[in-house]
Amino acid sequence: MDLSKTEFRVSAHITAGYDVKEIASKFHRSYHTVASQIKTIRLKNKLKNLAEISREFVLEFGDPRHYIAMVFLIIQVGLFFNIEDDEYKRTRKTKIARTKIASKKHNG
């Protein structure tokens, strides 16, 4: 299947059994945006309906529940590391400020 990142996510959720309204709500998108993405998926891959999208997705990528669980895990890990990055940045700024103060005392 020829899919963009967003089309891949939409296809995975279709295959997992979500309807268009649920997908739109989950991605914070308009119903019409998701419907348009589904239409694009169908046209790009010469598919007729949602069942064919699901069939092709499973044949090419496997069970979508694994993908959805992995995305959830990546988001959780990303949130953890962003917190760590912010602490690192604060610590680094503090060290730089202390170094500048120390060098002023030493030079002046």
Residues of the chain with pLDDT under 70: 67, 71-108
Q: Are 57 and 11 in contact (CB under 8 A)?
A: yes
In CATH, what number does 1-62 get?
1.10.10.10
pLDDT at residue 16, as a whole number: 87
Q: What per-residue confidence (pLDDT) applies to 93?
A: 55
Give the residue extent of every domain in the chain.
1-62, 70-108
Nearest to 4 by CA among 45, 51, 52: 45
CA dist 24 and 30 (Å) reads 6
20-27 helix and 5-15 helix, angle to the nearest 10 degrees:
130
Which pLDDT value is given to residue 29? 95
Which amino acid belongs to residue 4? S
pLDDT at 20: 95
pLDDT at 65: 72
- Count other Cβ atoms within 10 Å, centred on residue 67: 19
Distance CA 11, CA 92 (A): 43
The predicted structure's pLDDT at residue 25: 94
* Helix/strand/coil for 63: coil
Q: What's the pTM?
A: 0.61
